[in-house]
């Protein structure tokens, strides 16, 4: 298998993000500025990390709906552990995500329960855990003032956060493309029955995918909370929508087995450029939600028209019906 | 002899697995009520009981509608809350503009019908129902925000007052509507062609298609039913409180999905009933009411709800996979 990045579909995705950027750059004042590009990359760092994790679950044909709640829990843990220093706080929060993902993935793999339904239960539960961890159910401030400074360092248009996200995406891409376990995940997601028949372990891909999504959602939540110097149990409720949309825009298929991390990066960037443009026009936050929702629906249709097995079955059936009709006509 | 014996005993009442489930669920309600009554003496007062059933009724109505989606093999919808919010706002605006009750209800139903049609059509094409309704929910909520511009919409509540606050035979009208809709949907599921088609496409889509059922059409109608039932909740809320805002129906999606799942309708479709969902809604609301009454923290309540839903899903799945193999 050759590993091709620049497929025609990927080039058109890159084209779209460039186009959206140019349109806003021309029509919105202060859009094509250095500071705004930096801000876009900061959003990219946060959403991209979560989207990469969700993409891992989508690649094996599952979907983790609980990322928002997990990110909230991780943010609170990171703030609570901030006395130990930046790195330990982030590591502890991420370790929570790994353990959580392992447990969740194991239950889903073992029972065969559809993850779309099971993760709704864990989504509720983890939101509850987030509230339980904050004694007053209010915003937890970060006491150590200087701690977030490092994360806010600006390196050209990047920051430690966005560099972390890009590194993670590269590593994850390499893992999925070139290691045995990663390729197992892709094979498993693309054709579950065939993969099983070929002797692929049927539990490991699912468990690994959920560990990745739990860990990345946690790391993202932890970094974001320390950077903003506060954590609240009710935060990140809209995270799922944006992360799923970003992964889908980037060409990760909901039907499993298709897509790569480079696409996730492009998809996230597209959404961030879009919402930054809308925000700079002075529109209310809910307009961004509306836009994200509409983008998601449009992408779903496009994906359906190009990728879905149902669509193929549907067009085959149509062709067959047409043949039958033609045969009947010929008889008559 | 055995043949005669079995055929003779066939029409008699048997404790099937689903009847055991219903009994177990009702058992949970009774246990919670007893614990509540013992530990919190005021829990079982008539006023509190009416508050519980009123809350259960709204969740139950939406959950009964959503059961059609679940039965048809399309999991759940995550846009119920947003549909209810938008419906409440539209209803309040119509009443506030001086419209009478029937045209206002008709407009809300029409809007819900369109929302259900669009989502159902997407899903009928073969798109993922959860992701579709997630996107639709965000869009619907955005529309609700744009319409109201974050303001509370006042309705002239006297027009619809009887829909919100009347109590025929001492029982709140919402409960009558909930019970009525549950009964009607049970009849639809058990006795009509449409109801059987919903269950068949949920349990075996290929068979359904091969036997000439228009699968897409049935899926679309299940989404329309869910959407219209959610809009009924919006109407009832406005009738009760006389106003609507985008922050109404907080966590409604979670409660409604929880009710369907705890009721034990199979998540892979085909098996279940609106009666079970109705019981599930009562279980969830009673549990929630007790935890609120006993002043549990938000976190504890959410964790317990999440664990109950998770355990319900796991155990129903366990029983089913064991019995099928």
DSSP H stretches of helix in chain B: 2-9, 17-39, 46-71, 80-96, 101-125, 129-148, 161-165, 173-191, 193-203, 205-210, 215-241, 252-263, 274-293, 298-324
Cβ atoms A162, A41 nearer than 8 A: yes
The C-alpha of A288 sits at a distance from chain B's nearest C-alpha, in angstroms, of 8
Domain boundaries, chain B: 46-315
- Domains of chain A, start order: 9-285 (1.10.3470)
Residues 6+ apart with CB under 8 A from B233: B58, B61, B62, B84, B87, B249, B252
Distances in Å between the alpha carbon of A314 and those of B75, B126, B318?
A: 21, 9, 33
Residue A307: per-residue pLDDT: 62
B186 reaches A (C-beta below 8 A): no
- Chain B CA closest to residue A245: B135
Cβ atoms B91, B234 nearer than 8 A: yes
Neighbours of A279 (CB within 10 A): 17
Closest CA to B119 of B73, B83, B84: B83
Return residues 264-283 of B near A (CB < 8 Å).
267-268
SS3 B13: coil
Closest CA to A224 of A140, A288, A161: A161
- Tell me which residue in A63, A121, A291 faces B309 most closely, judged by beta carbons: A121
Cα–Cα distance between A196 and A289 in angstroms, integer? 40
- Chain B CA closest to residue A285: B142
Per-10-residue mean pLDDT, chain A, length 332: 63 82 83 84 92 93 92 92 87 95 94 87 92 76 72 80 91 90 85 81 90 96 88 86 89 81 89 85 78 85 71 71 78 72
B216 reaches A (C-beta below 8 A): no
Cα–Cα distance between B59 and B3 in angstroms, integer? 46
Cα–Cα distance between A262 and A246 in angstroms, integer? 12
Cα–Cα distance between B16 and A112 in angstroms, integer? 25
B305 contact residues in A (CB cutoff 8 A): 124-125, 128
Structure tokens at A161: 């956060």
User: Is A133 within 8 Å of B299 when comparing Cβ atoms?
Assistant: yes
Residue B296: per-residue pLDDT: 84
B92 phi-psi bin (left φ>0, alpha ψ -120 to 50, beta other): alpha
SS3 B325: coil
Cβ atoms B74, B205 nearer than 8 A: no
Residue B110: per-residue pLDDT: 96
- Tell me which residue in B135, B302, B317 faces A113 most closely, judged by beta carbons: B317
User: Is B303 within 8 Å of A310 when comparing Cβ atoms?
Assistant: no
CATH architecture assignment, domain B46-315: Orthogonal Bundle (1.10)
Residues 6+ apart with CB under 8 A from A244: A51, A54, A63, A296, B131, B134
The C-alpha of B317 sits at a distance from chain A's nearest C-alpha, in angstroms, of 7
B256 contact residues in A (CB cutoff 8 A): none
Residue A309: per-residue pLDDT: 64
The C-alpha of A315 sits at a distance from chain B's nearest C-alpha, in angstroms, of 11
Cβ atoms A46, A235 nearer than 8 A: no
Cα–Cα distance between B90 and B112 in angstroms, integer? 10
User: Is B298 within 8 Å of A137 when comparing Cβ atoms?
Assistant: yes
A114 reaches B (C-beta below 8 A): yes
Cα–Cα distance between B267 and B149 in angstroms, integer? 37
Cα–Cα distance between A43 and A22 in angstroms, integer? 19
- Residue in this structure with the two tokens 């506060």, named with its chain if needed: A230
- Residue B51 burial (10 A CB sphere; 0-12, 13-18, 19+): middle
User: Is B131 within 8 Å of A300 when comparing Cβ atoms?
Assistant: yes
A324 contact residues in B (CB cutoff 8 A): none
Cβ atoms B232, B185 nearer than 8 A: no
B150 contact residues in A (CB cutoff 8 A): 284
SS3 A230: strand
Size of interface A-B (CB pairs under 8 A): 160
Neighbours of B107 (CB within 10 A): 16
The C-alpha of B307 sits at a distance from chain A's nearest C-alpha, in angstroms, of 6
Structure tokens at B269: 């479709």
A302 reaches B (C-beta below 8 A): no
Q: Note down pLDDT in tens along chain B; length 325 residues.
A: 444 444 444 455 666 666 777 777 788 888 888 888 788 777 778 777 787 888 889 999 999 999 999 998 888 888 999 999 999 999 999 988 878 889 999 999 999 999 999 999 988 887 888 888 988 998 999 899 888 887 888 887 676 777 777 778 878 888 899 999 999 999 998 888 888 888 888 888 888 888 888 888 999 999 999 999 999 999 999 988 888 888 888 888 888 988 998 887 777 777 788 888 888 898 888 888 888 888 888 888 889 989 988 888 888 877 777 665 4
Residue A4: per-residue pLDDT: 60
DSSP H stretches of helix in chain A: 8-27, 34-59, 67-80, 86-111, 115-133, 160-178, 180-190, 192-197, 204-227, 239-249, 261-280, 285-306, 309-331
Structure tokens at B11: 């029409």
User: Is B125 within 8 Å of A311 when comparing Cβ atoms?
Assistant: yes
A294 reaches B (C-beta below 8 A): yes
- Chain A CA closest to residue B318: A111
- Residue A216 burial (10 A CB sphere; 0-12, 13-18, 19+): buried
A106 reaches B (C-beta below 8 A): no
- Tell me which residue in A128, A296, A311 faces B306 most closely, judged by beta carbons: A128
Cα–Cα distance between A44 and A50 in angstroms, integer? 10
Residue A50: per-residue pLDDT: 95
Cα–Cα distance between A213 and A221 in angstroms, integer? 12
Residues 6+ apart with CB under 8 A from B286: B29, B32, B33, B36, B52, B56
Closest CA to A39 of A139, A161, A129, A201: A161
Neighbours of B223 (CB within 10 A): 31
Closest CA to A138 of A231, A56, A32: A231
Neighbours of A59 (CB within 10 A): 27
Rounded to an integer, what is the distance from CA A99 to the centroid of its chain?
19
User: Which of B117, B130, B254, B308 is most worth mutating to test chain A (most A CB atoms within 10 A of its CB)?
Assistant: B130
Return residues 123-182 of A near B (CB < 8 Å).
123-134, 137
The C-alpha of B141 sits at a distance from chain A's nearest C-alpha, in angstroms, of 7
- Tell me which residue in A125, A129, A293 faces B135 most closely, judged by beta carbons: A293
- Chain B CA closest to residue A314: B125
ipTM for the whole predicted complex goes beyond 0.90: no
């Amino acid at each position: 298998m050759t590993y091709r990045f620049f497929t025609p579909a990927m080039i058109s995705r890159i084209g779209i993000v460039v186009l959206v950027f140019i349109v806003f750059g021309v029509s919105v004042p202060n859009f094509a500025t250095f500071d705004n590009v930096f801000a876009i990359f900061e959003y990219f760092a946060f959403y991209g990390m979560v989207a990469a994790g969700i993409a891992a679950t989508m690649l094996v044909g599952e979907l983790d709906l609980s990322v928002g709640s997990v990110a909230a829990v991780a943010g609170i843990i990171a703030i609570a552990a901030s006395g130990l220093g930046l790195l330990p706080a982030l590591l502890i929060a991420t370790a929570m995500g790994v353990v959580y993902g392992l447990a969740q993935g194991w239950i889903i793999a073992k029972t065969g329960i559809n993850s779309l339904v099971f993760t709704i239960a864990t989504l509720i539960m983890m939101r509850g855990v987030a509230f339980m961890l904050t004694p007053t159910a209010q915003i937890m401030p970060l006491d150590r003032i200087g701690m977030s400074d490092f994360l806010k360092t600006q390196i050209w248009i990047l920051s430690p956060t966005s560099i972390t996200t890009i590194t993670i995406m590269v590593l994850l891409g390499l893992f999925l493309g070139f290691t045995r376990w990663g390729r197992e995940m892709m094979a498993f997601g693309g054709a579950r029955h065939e993969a099983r028949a070929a002797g692929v372990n049927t539990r490991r891909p699912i468990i690994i995918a959920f560990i990745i999504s739990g860990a990345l959602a946690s790391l993202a939540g932890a970094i974001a909370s320390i950077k903003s110097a506060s954590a609240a149990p009710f935060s990140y409720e809209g995270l799922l929508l944006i992360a799923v949309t970003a992964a889908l825009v980037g060409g990760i298929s909901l039907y499993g087995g298709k897509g790569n991390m480079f696409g996730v990066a492009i998809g996230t960037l597209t959404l961030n450029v879009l919402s930054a443009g809308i925000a700079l026009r002075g529109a209310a936050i809910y307009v961004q939600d509306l836009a994200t929702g509409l983008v998601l629906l449009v992408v779903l249709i496009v994906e359906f028209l190009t990728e879905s097995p149902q669509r193929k079955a549907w067009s085959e059936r149509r062709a067959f019906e047409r043949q039958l009709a033609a045969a009947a006509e010929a008889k008559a | 002899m055995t043949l005669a014996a079995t055929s003779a005993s066939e029409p008699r009442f048997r404790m099937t697995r689903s009847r055991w489930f219903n009994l177990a669920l009702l058992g949970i309600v009774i246990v919670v009520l007893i614990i509540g009554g013992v530990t919190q003496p005021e829990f079982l007062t008539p006023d509190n009981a009416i508050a519980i059933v009123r809350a259960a009724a709204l969740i139950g109505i939406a959950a009964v509608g959503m059961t059609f989606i679940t039965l048809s093999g399309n999991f759940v919808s995550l846009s119920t809350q947003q549909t209810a919010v938008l419906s409440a706002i539209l209803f309040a605006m119509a009443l506030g503009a001086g419209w009478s009750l029937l045209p206002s209800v008709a407009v809300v139903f029409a809007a819900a019908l369109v929302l259900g049609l669009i989502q159902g059509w997407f899903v009928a094409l073969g798109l993922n129902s959860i992701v579709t309704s997630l996107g639709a929910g965000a869009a619907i909520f955005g529309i609700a925000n744009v319409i109201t511009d974050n303001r509370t919409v006042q309705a002239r509540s006297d027009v619809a007052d009887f829909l919100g606050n009347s109590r025929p035979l001492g029982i709140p009208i919402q409960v009558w509507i909930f019970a009525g809709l549950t009964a009607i949907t049970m009849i639809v599921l058990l006795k009509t062609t449409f109801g059987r088609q919903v269950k068949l496409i949920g349990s075996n889509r290929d068979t359904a298609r091969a036997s000439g059922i228009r699968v897409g059409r049935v899926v679309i109608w299940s989404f329309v039913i869910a959407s219209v039932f959610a809009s009924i909740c919006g109407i009832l809320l406005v009738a009760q409180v006389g106003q609507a805002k985008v922050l109404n129906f907080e966590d409604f999606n979670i409660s409604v999905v929880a009710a369907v799942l705890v009721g034990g309708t199979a998540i892979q479709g085909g098996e279940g009933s609106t009666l079970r969902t109705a019981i599930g809604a009562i279980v969830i609301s009673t549990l929630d009411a007790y935890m609120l009454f006993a002043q549990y923290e938000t976190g504890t309540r959410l964790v317990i709800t999440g664990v109950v839903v998770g355990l319900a899903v796991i155990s129903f799945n366990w029983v089913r996979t064991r019995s099928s193999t």
